Amino acid sequence: MYYTAHKKGGSHCIGAATSATALGPFKPQANPLICDDANGGVIDASGYDDGVDRWITWKVDGNSLGGATTCQGGTPSGSYRPTPILVQRMARDALTLLDRPSQILDNEGRANDGVTEAPALYKIGNGNFVLFYSAHCYSSDDYDIEYAFSSTINGPYTNRGILLRTVDNKGIFGPGGLDLDPNGKSVVFHGRTKANNGNGPRLLYSAELTISGHSISY
């Protein structure tokens, strides 16, 4: 199990914990798996097995350092900071990092309020890959679920599209954090039940996807 925790005297890091069963209890490893204090810390780890190799994706939390985005603790100013999504190959133990991380996506500045996060990978037909992610500020009704495609798992990912957003009138506000079942159809994600309620409660939703080439619907 991968998780995010705040390192004493530093920013968020990604840790790993192991258990003999999926029900736990899980024992954390002695040291963090991934840290990046200089660029704002790291969050939103997600593991993926493509049938040959294991991989881990995560977000570098650049907006935590400020900048022009509204998704920060201070007053927006200056330029938008990078919030890249990275991927790195792992050993079969899912604990040992191999090679070097690759940047596969980043925010588009004002177009998505300088935020991309919550990555989830899936291998589609013809050996291609789709990356699901969230964009915009999590406390905004603009928060949404998006996707992009690549012919290789380590990107770059292009042909971005939007899967679900508040204006789709599904009664879900600021949907985000999608994760995909290995069956390639069943997904879960969170969203709020009221508009303009950024710190309000979030519910867990499920849906069934249809992926056909570069078209995704639910």
The confidence score (pLDDT) of residue 141 equals 97
Q: List pLDDT tens digits, range 57-112.
A: 999 999 999 999 999 989 999 999 999 999 999 999 999 999 999 999 999 999 99
Handedness of CA 71, 41, 104, 50 (dihedral sign): negative
In this structure, the number of other CB atoms found within 10 A of the CB of residue 79 comes to 10
Instruction: Spell out the residues 6+ positions from residue 79 whose beta carbon is closer than 8 angstroms to its own.
Output: 67, 68
The pTM assigned to this predicted structure is: 0.96
DSSP string, 165-199: -GGG-SS-EEEEEEEE-TTSSEEEEEEESSTT-TT
Cα–chain-centroid distance for residue 173?
18
CATH 3.40.50.300 holds for 40-217: no
Q: List pLDDT tens digits, range 147-181.
A: 999 999 999 999 999 999 999 999 999 999 999 99
